[in-house]
Amino acid sequence: MFDPVPPYRPSHFRIKFATAPWERAGTAALRREVFCREQAVFTGDDCDAVDGHALPICALSTLGGDPDAVVGTVRIHEVAEKPGEWWGSRLAVAPDYRRVGALGAGLIHVAVASAHARGCTRFLAHVQSRNIALFEALHWRSLDTLDLHGLPHHLMLADLTCYPPMADPERGLVTLLRRAA
């Protein structure tokens, strides 16, 4: 009798701007899965006007060293009326990868550091209350509390001194597999 083969788990992930069509499609599909189906925050689709000018970021799992699936995403955008003010939103990690350490932190790092390289002087996000500890550990502070889409959120501000500018977010960064406790 043979032991069952354990499911494949990538050894590392690449976190970068979603530049290829399949990466962009994967970020949209993951957002729908998380925000429409799982959390029921939106009905049908979560796309909004911000998507027209936002920069999508993806966390890619790897197979044999090559990217094979979008397992995390966030988007960033600069506020047209407030040059230098950037926002992050729609942070999502696929359910099977939430126990993998470093994906959420890596997405946040690429988001803030790449905006910083593009002239960001203030980086903000509306963060669901259940994720506050992660953001605080990554040098963010809460400015206010509010209710968005029926869920408690915090308006949070990143400490840009902790996010050196990332000049090449199209290549991004690589993070190794680490299981969260």
The pLDDT tens digits of the residues spanning 48-73 come to: 999 999 999 999 998 777 788 999 99
Cross-sheet strand order for the sheet of 85-93: 140-148, 151-158, 122-128, 85-93, 66-78, 55-63, 12-17, 173-176
CA distances from 138 to 109, 148, 158, 181 (A): 8, 23, 8, 18
pTM for the complete prediction? 0.90
pLDDT at 161: 97
| Distance from the Cα of residue 135 to its chain's centroid | 12
pLDDT at 3: 63
Report which of 149, 156, 123, 151 is spatially closest to residue 55, judged by C-alpha positions: 123
pLDDT at 6: 59
pLDDT at 160: 98
> Averaged over 3-11, what is the pLDDT?
64
* Residue ranges of domains in the chain, CATH in brackets: 12-176 (3.40.630.30)
pLDDT at 100: 73
Residue 127 CB-half CA count within 13 A: 24
- Written as one letter, the residue type at 106 is G
> 78-102: per-residue pLDDT in tens?
999 999 999 999 999 999 888 776 8
Strands 55-63 and 12-17: antiparallel
> Averaged over 13-39, what is the pLDDT?
96
State the Cα–Cα distance between residues 101 and 154, nearest whole angstrom.
Answer: 23
